[in-house]
Structure 1
């Protein structure tokens, strides 16, 4: 397990040649899965930093460095539209307010914990609650948003204070919550523009994947075989992957011939 701050800034070392490929700049979070899907790379020689490593391609995260097999693990985010979409969502977690589904304010996120040996799963949030640092287990999280994390009602009774035994906590913050929600209330979504954006994203995915050859079997999130190794992607294949969900499209994008 690693805190996000323990990962940011680490050198990225290629095992095949022992060279440093850059440093970890940021962690790209998939709010639907509650995972860190990519590590973006800071490299002084690159004019822009649109490169990242899929977390599934990371060999290890140590105290000194993040290791990868070779430089082929590094990908251009512009070539993976779904990854670019995750970047644009800007889910950073740090400083996000934690509220229950009924609108009560729990606290503010100060850190989060990543299972670096299990696909980058977020296992817990560290939050500041009435000037105390507590842990919120990820199983209580309902929604990871840009500014607000929504959790289950029973979360308050399950908070674990750092450095102390688990203890119950009851919070009466109705007035603070009302002010918070007024401050963070967002304008209504323009559904037409959103639909147009999603359609453009799907068309870009088709453009990048059509007629590419699959190099590994692709499975749905439920474990069902969707595409076999060696398949040359048709429009129907790509549409089926899109229907299976964003994480499946990411997996497919990382398993086709260049």
Structure 2
């Protein structure tokens, strides 16, 4: 089990090449299955945009580094539309308010924990409303919805908080001590503790997305569309073979078909 603090800013090493190829910048959560599907990696060519690393390509996550088979596992965001879709809809769990099914505001998420083998989110550390200290971990089986604004949980989630996972890892009562003592903790930094810090983190992610969108837009303009794109009610938005222009991109985006466009272009 790994907390996000143990993953973000971790070095990414290529086993085949025996070298550092970047570091983890962000985790992309798939809210439908509650798993981390991709990691965003900042490499030596960061000025071209962040790279996407499928979690399935991760070979191991240690205290010193996260390992992958080779640098070929990193893909540009333009090559990974699934990662783009998650980046645009990705809920940022840390700082998210926690609400029960019956509408009780339970508090906020201070941290969350990922199964290092599957990428599954196994639990979220809850700080109760009006308090500063964490009360315990909400186990994944009590989580109903990973939303952009709220984490919705079962009504009895706060009555069944864990102090540690079934395998004995990551006791909530020792979170601060563990983070302070962990090697590289200072380098990894700390997760947002205040609303201002959460907003700063969200703004940074939004800036990365805006930069990527602009670069992808420039990449797409002048290429040809590989399929005919229609709206949900069947109206043709763009014909197959049409030259992609800024206006065409805007029309497709307004109709909610931008991801479909990015997946079907040709020279």
Instruction: Report TM bin, short chain.
Output: 0.5 to 0.7
Unaligned runs of 5+ in 2: 164-171, 175-231, 234-250
- Residue 196 of structure 2 aligns with which residue? none
- Residue 97 of structure 2 aligns with which residue? 97
CA shift, 1:154, in A, is 1.8
CA shift, 1:194, in A, is 10
CA shift, 1:95, in A, is 0.2
Superposed, which structure 2 residues align to 1:30-41 within 5 Å? 30-41=30-41
Paired with 2:252 and 2:153, the residues of 1 have a C-alpha distance of 26
Change (3 A) 1:152 1:194: farther
Unaligned runs of 5+ in 1: 165-190, 209-258
Change (3 A) 1:52 1:136: same
Change (3 A) 1:150 1:92: same
CA shift, 1:114, in A, is 0.3
CA shift, 1:80, in A, is 1.9
Paired with 1:60 and 1:8, the residues of 2 have a C-alpha distance of 14
Three-state SS of the structure 1 residue aligned to 2:78 is helix
- Residue 155 of structure 1 aligns with which residue? 157
1:21 counterpart = 2:31: no
TM-score normalized with structure 2 length: 0.62
Pick from 181, 199, 203 the counterpart of residue 257 of structure 2.
199
Conserved 8 A contact 2:58-2:66:
yes
CA shift, 1:200, in A, is 3.5
Conserved 8 A contact 1:13-1:65:
yes
1:76 counterpart = 2:76: yes
- Residue 227 of structure 2 aligns with which residue? none
Conserved 8 A contact 1:50-1:78:
no
- Residue 58 of structure 1 aligns with which residue? 58
User: 1:49-87, CA deviations, whole angstroms, 9 ceiling, x for partnerless residues?
Assistant: 331210000000000000000011101111222210100
Paired with 1:141 and 1:154, the residues of 2 have a C-alpha distance of 11
CA shift, 1:44, in A, is 4.2
- Residue 112 of structure 2 aligns with which residue? 112
User: 1:198-254, CA deviations, whole angstroms, 9 ceiling, x for partnerless residues?
Assistant: 43423433447xxxxxxxxxxxxxxxxxxxxxxxxxxxxxxxxxxxxxxxxxxxxxx
- Residue 132 of structure 2 aligns with which residue? 131
CA shift, 1:197, in A, is 4.1
Conserved 8 A contact 1:98-1:149:
yes
Paired with 1:194 and 1:32, the residues of 2 have a C-alpha distance of 24
Paired with 1:26 and 1:79, the residues of 2 have a C-alpha distance of 18
Conserved 8 A contact 2:252-2:261:
no
Superposed, which structure 2 residues align to 1:176-255 within 5 Å? 197-207=255-265
Three-state SS of the structure 1 residue aligned to 2:18 is coil
TM-score normalized with structure 1 length: 0.65
Change (3 A) 1:32 1:195: farther
Conserved 8 A contact 2:21-2:44:
no
Question: What's the Cα RMSD here?
Answer: 2.3
CA shift, 1:131, in A, is 3.3
- Residue 7 of structure 2 aligns with which residue? 7
Conserved 8 A contact 1:40-1:49:
no
